[in-house]
């Protein structure tokens, strides 16, 4: 399975009368975008704005971020299961707009509560919070959706997702006739010869709790999914789409398509390691029996693949940490070395217990930093997505443009972005 990924670098997106790509600047027609999106009966209105790195801009009520891409050759479509049939992707050619994100913002019409609560997530394009926010370093086309009064949360959510993905494909199609800045050829073919390299798999444990806090594999929610083996090219080719809107512990679609661990393993493939593939598992199982079943199933797949080691990241918090640690433990018990990548929840001062769950077998842990560390966020000159915001730890509503104290929980994909930005936790 070989995927050619053609990258067109975008450093600026601007509003205009046309839809065109010139150099590294993308021009979009906001009225044309609005007209197309408003064909869906779920929307009362949609506003279109842009934001760039370094600007004093804050984006609030962020739901998902999508990197525009389109299939130009081979089976399937961009974001299969949504924009076309669920044919297996990861082969042929795909074009992406590198450095551009379509950002969705909205407030849902119906209240949410308990474990299925939608939580605030924001992006600061500059200042001390920017390194903790995914997409603070990309040119952003910001779509702010307002629902009709009668629409349900699930219908509103589905409409936002389909409209955004369709726009992503449309924008990537503007590259036709242009020359990409780079082409990656991604394949797992490897000839170890006499010097056998360690075989490594990536066990990606995604969050699956229910509507508005879930992920989609080939267009279908991953609820009830037993650990499943996929080619890493499928992940990079849009097979996994986020529908997770729970604070900073989520991973957005753009990050799934640019998974930093997959990219790192590809960079080492055939040199330091032999990258075998991705085992996709879910977290937030309702009972310990289901957690054990998932962990044992993941370890079994790793054993069948004859791997020497696995990398297991944490996505989520307390409940998910049990799933992640159980997978780590199950792999170690079968003789497979496991490395866990996780954020710490050490309190504002870093003195609290950093892990919700831990087993002695988890003896190789990479810290992505303390997500509970407090950051003084300064006021912003411009706000997109809403005039007020409310963090889950308080029922107090504040002005979106003001300064406040926040943690990684409040920033868009804050946990993973801290790791990408090089954060870690150290003893002093």
Q: Per the confidence metrics, is the pTM higher than 0.85? A: yes
Residue 428 lies in a domain: no
Domain count, the chain: 1
Tokens of 164: 């955004």
Cα distance between residue 129 and residue 263, in whole Å: 25
Which residue reads 């990924």 in tokens?
5
Cα distance between residue 15 and residue 5, in whole Å: 27
Are 37 and 156 in contact by the 8 Å Cβ rule? The answer is: no
Q: What is the pLDDT along the chain (428 residues), one digit of tens a residue?
A: 899 999 999 999 999 999 999 999 999 999 999 999 999 999 999 999 999 999 999 999 999 999 999 999 999 999 999 999 999 999 999 999 999 999 999 999 999 888 888 889 999 999 999 999 999 999 999 999 999 999 999 999 999 999 999 999 999 999 999 999 999 999 998 665 567 899 999 999 999 999 999 999 999 999 999 999 999 999 999 999 999 998 888 999 999 999 999 999 999 999 999 999 999 999 989 899 999 999 999 999 999 999 999 999 988 777 888 999 999 999 999 999 999 988 887 767 766 667 767 788 888 888 888 887 889 999 999 999 999 998 876 678 899 999 999 988 899 998 888 888 888 777 66
Residue 427 lies in a domain: no
Residue 426 lies in a domain: no
Going by C-alpha positions, the residue among 91, 115, 118 that lies closest to residue 104 is 118
Tokens of 100: 């551009």
Q: Which domain holds residue 143?
A: 3-420
Residue 305 lies in a domain: yes
Are 330 and 296 in contact by the 8 Å Cβ rule? The answer is: yes
Are 138 and 123 in contact by the 8 Å Cβ rule? The answer is: no
Residue 199 lies in a domain: yes
Cα distance between residue 400 and residue 122, in whole Å: 10
């Amino acid at each position: 399975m070989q995927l050619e990924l053609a990258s067109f670098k975008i450093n600026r997106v601007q509003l205009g009368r046309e839809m065109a790509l010139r150099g590294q600047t993308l021009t979009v027609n906001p009225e044309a975008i609005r007209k197309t999106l408003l064909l869906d009966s779920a929307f009362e209105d949609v506003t279109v704005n842009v934001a760039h790195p370094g600007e004093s801009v804050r984006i609030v009520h962020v739901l998902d971020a999508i990197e525009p891409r389109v299939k130009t050759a081979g089976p399937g479509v961009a974001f299969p299961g949504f924009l076309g049939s669920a044919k297996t992707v990861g082969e042929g050619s795909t074009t992406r707009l590198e450095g551009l994100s379509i950002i969705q913002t909205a407030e849902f019409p119906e209240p949410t509560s308990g474990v299925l609560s939608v939580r605030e997530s924001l992006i600061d394009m500059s200042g001390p919070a920017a390194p903790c926010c995914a997409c603070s370093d990309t040119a952003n086309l910001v779509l702010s959706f307002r629902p009709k009064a009668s629409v349900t949360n699930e219908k509103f959510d589905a409409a936002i997702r389909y409209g955004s993905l369709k726009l992503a494909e449309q924008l990537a199609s503007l590259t036709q006739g242009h020359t990409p800045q780079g082409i990656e050829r991604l394949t797992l073919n490897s000839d170890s010869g006499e010097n056998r390299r360690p075989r490594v798999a990536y066990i990606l444990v995604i969050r699956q709790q229910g509507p508005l806090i879930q992920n989609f594999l080939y267009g279908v929610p991953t609820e009830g999914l037993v650990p499943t083996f996929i080619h890493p090219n499928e992940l990079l080719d849009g097979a996994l789409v986020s529908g997770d809107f729970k604070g900073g512990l989520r991973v957005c679609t753009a990050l799934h398509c640019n998974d930093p661990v997959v990219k790192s393993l590809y960079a080492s493939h055939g040199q330091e390691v032999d990258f075998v593939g991705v085992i996709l598992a879910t977290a937030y199982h309702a009972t310990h029996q289901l957690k054990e079943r998932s962990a044992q199933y993941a370890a079994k797949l790793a054993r069948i693949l004859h791997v020497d080691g696995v990398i297991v990241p944490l996505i989520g918090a307390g409940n998910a940490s049990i799933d992640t640690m159980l997978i780590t433990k199950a792999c170690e018990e079968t003789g497979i070395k496991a490395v866990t990548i996780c954020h710490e929840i050490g309190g504002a001062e870093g003195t609290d217990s950093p892990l919700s769950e831990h087993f002695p077998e988890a003896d190789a842990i990479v810290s992505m930093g303390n997500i509970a560390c407090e950051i003084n966020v300064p006021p912003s000159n411009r706000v997109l997505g809403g005039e007020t915001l409310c963090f889950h730890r308080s029922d107090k509503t504040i002005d979106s443009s003001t300064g406040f104290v926040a943690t990684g929980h409040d920033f868009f994909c804050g946990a993973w972005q801290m790791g990408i930005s090089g954060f870690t936790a150290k003893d002093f």
